[in-house]
Structure 1
């Protein structure tokens, strides 16, 4: 059988192909049904190459260590049961990419998928998974060009074309093409009102330009399209809260946090918990009262009991522990990752997460602890050399801005006024209307005036 783009589907009967197409649609729209639909493909055709590949990818996309381990076990059993020579070239490349990622090598998996879409540019699964790999590894150029390099091979009336535009818009935004990102993202959402990744791309474009009121209006106008029924709704609520934070409404930020970002009914998924930690951390930097939310969030991270899997998640767990005043737990996580890294180096394992942890994750975790202990100069010393390399451990500019703001606040509180002025000058000239930057500059001016008065006494 073949899919609707004429790609070979080995060991996949007609019903399974139909179910696969449905699951692929759900994946592209971030619908919660995708897991059940992917399982249905394998119920119909247990040896389906693309069905098993899809299942493996789903176990990886959430950056959940336990899900990835289960996916690895299942995929290894599939590989033992099937002669790879029976698969088509495209399917074999998917198997290699999934295997590489399951082994922890995200960058190699992304390269394999990049080669795959040169030959098969209308493979929507390869493009979507590769796009997420570029996000997890913080590669802005590939976020843009992986999709941009395939778009011209697609008919504009293809049902998936608009969804690819949404991905492309996000890559454009992360690469600094904000005006074009907004236009392409808006076009994508006009094609598919519930393209939550496209909505997310537009939201990022507004965020990076400091257009907070525009962002609030856009999300308010489309609340029914993005706010429920998809895997990205918590993250887009997080964006909404970031906009509100710039208006100074801490009460409304906390209301969004309680209603949508983290509460007693939250699933405890890593991607949702890191949004919660990132949001509360921004309030922590402004000395806002967040009530008893930090202890509850720290408990949620502790219940996960994660091993060393993805350094980006580790950093946000440490934020939660520091915010809750539980620096001993933050220290234990750091020591655990240090020991894992020593074993990893000795055994030459660890995949992509080893350099992420060594070069970015651990220094950032130590900086967060230093900040929580009011060792602001130490926090500056740890973060300053990393500030232009933070992207190498994943996430978006908006997500990593919590760390950039930590550096600014640490410099202010350490009395490093010239450094703080330079950092704020960079920010202000990129986003002239950002209330946070204006507030920080005012605080810096006040502190400099106090220092000058003290000197003249």
Structure 2
């Protein structure tokens, strides 16, 4: 008797009792819902894809012990692969490549899967995750477009396409895809997220805030990253609109404290606290609680994008562990897997020096380190909105150094940003201060 998952992909299982675990992962993963982890309840099931999905969930912890925790499940998946379908074998091989640090190989396998089995949307979303983390935005979009002819009925695929379009700066297409997804299913948080990106990029701040808040009643039952990250976007709109108290309340209520041990919740907290301070909003003692969790991340080195924010959070909290993390990054970078080694060496190391220098008031060194990293920053992953943190820190260092040359560079950056976001009170205040120091009138 043959079985299929909820998207119609044939699966190799002993009997129908394995299907709920498979569908929990597939449906939960592509919808960003917490029920994806229900697959772990079936960890004793010998079905190769149940084991592969359990390994996937452990690797998504993005922690130093994630690979070891995933290992037993991956081994059992590999042992059972001989009796699996070619689609399942390819997915298992992609997870093995991910675990081994061969991200280029993993992406190639997910791309092949999208062409051969376009309704394997769990594979597609995982491929997008790897492309995102290595700055391959066209790769994200290519994966989604390969599946659209066969899976246009699935709202979550339109959300995946929307984010791929947005990261490629194709904003009209991104908005159309996001709205298509929401038309098919109002509770499509990844499409909400893509729409928030579009409106932030286009400076539609009041509209973006209204749209995200209007959809927020559906942000229930999600994984902690998705719910905290969408609220993170709400907070960004509030900061730029000068509504500091509301933004701080969002941080306290919706961003920090959902799953404090999770990497993505931690970097969301770090980047939002940093943005508060860069916008002149005091954060009180909030750094300390976050730093207590960051101090456990000193040897993780899962993604350079994560390590940089762990480092900055520790430094802003005045923790000595920031120095140890910097040394660990420097030691790890030359030994990083070949697929990501250049990002660690050429981007992460100088950026880490720049961030630590900024946190400690050495603005010349901050400019030097971040200035080396910024032209290649996309290589460490993260979205445009997330990487904007490093650009804001660099800009702040230029202003605070206060030389004629640094203020002139700051003026050029700020005015271009303000041209794109005329609703931003934050940028307007910052630009006015720079113009005053340059002996020029403020321009709107």
TM-score by length of 2: 0.91
SS of the residue 1:153 aligns to: helix
Q: 1:398 aligns with which of 361, 378, 385?
A: 385
Paired with 2:187 and 2:281, the residues of 1 have a C-alpha distance of 34
Residue in structure 2 matched with residue 21 of structure 1 by the alignment: 23
TM-superposed CA distance for 1:76, in Å, is: 2.1
1:243 to 225, 233, 237: 237
Q: Alignment partner for residue 411 of structure 1, among 382, 395, 398?
A: 398
Structure-2 change in CA distance of 1:228 and 1:15 (3 Å): closer
Task: Quote how far apart the aligned CAs of 1:61 are.
Answer: 2.6
Alignment of 1:59-138 (within 5 A): 59-79=58-78, 81-82=79-80, 84-138=81-135
Residue pair 1:107, 1:137 contacting (<8 A) in 2 also = no
1:443 corresponds, among 419, 422, 433, to: 433
- Alpha-carbon RMSD across the aligned residues, in angstroms, is 2.1
Q: Distance in 2 between matches of 1:189 and 1:394?
A: 26
- Alignment of 1:219 with 2:212, yes or no, is yes
Aligned to 1:162: 155
1:300–1:19 distance in 2 versus 1, CA, 3 Å: closer
CA–CA distance in structure 1, aligned partners of residues 421 and 237 of structure 2: 14
2:348 aligned residue: 361
Tell me which residue corresponds to 2:361: 374
Decide whether the 8 Å contact of 2:46 with 2:76 is kept in 1.
Answer: no
Matching residue within 8, 11, 22 for 1:9: 11
Q: What displacement does 1:125 show? A: 1.5
- Which stretch of the first structure deviates more once superposed, 250-259 or 431-440? 431-440
CA contact (8 A) 1:309 1:353 kept: no
Match status 1:350 vs 2:337: yes
Quick one: distance in 1 between partners of 2:221 and 2:77? 35
Count of residues in correspondence between the two structures? 434
Counterpart of 1:294 in structure 2 is: 287
Alpha-carbon distance change, 20 to 77 in structure 1, aligned in 2, over 3 angstroms:
closer
Q: Aligned partners of 1:17 and 1:77: how far apart in 2? A: 18
Cα 1:35–1:374, aligned 2, differ >3 Å: closer, same or farther?
A: same
Structure-2 residue corresponding to 1:453 = none
Q: CA deviation at 1:383?
A: 1.5
Q: How far apart, in 1, do the equivalents of 2:340 and 2:59 lie? A: 14
Q: 1:455 corresponds to which residue?
A: none
Distance 1:309 1:19, change over 3 A: closer
Displacement of 1:420 in angstroms is 1.4
Unaligned runs of 5+ in 1: 451-457
Match of 2:410 among 413, 420, 427: 420
For residues 163-187 of structure 1, the C-alpha deviation after alignment (integer angstroms, 9 at most, x for no partner) is 1001111111111112221221122
* Shift in Å, 1:288: 2.5
Q: 1:247 to 1:22 in 2, by over 3 A?
A: same
